[in-house]
Amino acid sequence: MLTIETAHLDHQSFLVQDLEIEAKTLSDLLGLSFNVWTITPEICMVNEKIQPYAFKVAIAPIGTSSIELISPLRGNSILQQDLKIKGVGYHHSGITFNDHRSFANAKIDLIAKGYKPVQYGKTKGAFEFGYFRLPTAGITIELLYIDTMPQPDAIISKIIQ
């Protein structure tokens, strides 16, 4: 079950075609600095079927939250499907958990209520996440637990002249 003590609204995620161009544009417009990672989970599932995928993510902190840009790289992920059907724009709200037990309990709770993760990924010792589509206003939430965050592949920042 989700509780305020164990989770927080971490990010708002936007699906984009070209992550680097969008991150650069937002950096220039808003003065944000994005850390960029390529994510290739060891365990990948899409609609409860094993389906390898990879994606890029760029995260820019804003206060106690962040903006996330996300773009599919390989595989038939939910990101690839959503880009084709819905196009670019708001994708999901990310809820991060302070400990793995709270993450697992929230995931189990949603599954018990009939909500299956439309996409799931896990890399042992690093992270575990699941995207769940909720019936309220077409909202997709990401439940996320991060054990260790690797160094970013790149940083995109505003060029100061």
**Per-position DSSP letters for 24-66, written without gaps between them:** HHHHHHH---EEEEEE--SEEEETTEE---EEEEEEEEETTEE
Which residues are CB-neighbours of 1 under 8 A, at least 6 positions away? Answer: 105, 106, 109
b/e per residue 22-58 (b: at least 16 CB within 10 A): bbbebbeeeebebbbbebebeebbbeeeeeebbbbbb
Report how far residue 56's alpha carbon sits from residue 79's, in angstroms, rounded to the nearest whole number. 11
Q: Is 147 helix (H, G, I), strand (E, B) or coil?
A: coil
> Is the pLDDT assigned to residue 138 strictly greater than 90?
no
Q: What is the pLDDT of residue 3?
A: 60
Counting Cα atoms < 13 Å in the Cβ hemisphere of 60 gives 22
Q: Is 21 helix (H, G, I), strand (E, B) or coil?
A: helix
Q: Is 154 helix (H, G, I), strand (E, B) or coil?
A: strand
With CA atoms as reference, report the closest residue to 79 among 60, 58, 55: 55
The domain defined by 7-61+92-149 carries CATH number 3.30.350.10: no
pLDDT-based confidence at residue 135 (cuts at 50, 70, 90) = confident
Per-residue pLDDT of 35-85, as tens digits, reads: 999 999 999 999 999 999 999 999 999 999 999 999 999 999 999 999 999
Q: What is the pLDDT of residue 2?
A: 59
Q: What is the pLDDT of residue 1?
A: 57
With CA atoms as reference, report the closest residue to 134 among 142, 145, 126, 124: 142
Per-residue pLDDT of 89-107, as tens digits, reads: 999 999 999 999 999 999 9
Per-residue pLDDT of 1-42, as tens digits, reads: 556 568 999 999 999 999 999 999 999 999 999 999 999 999
Report how far residue 74's alpha carbon sits from residue 78's, in angstroms, rounded to the nearest whole number. 11
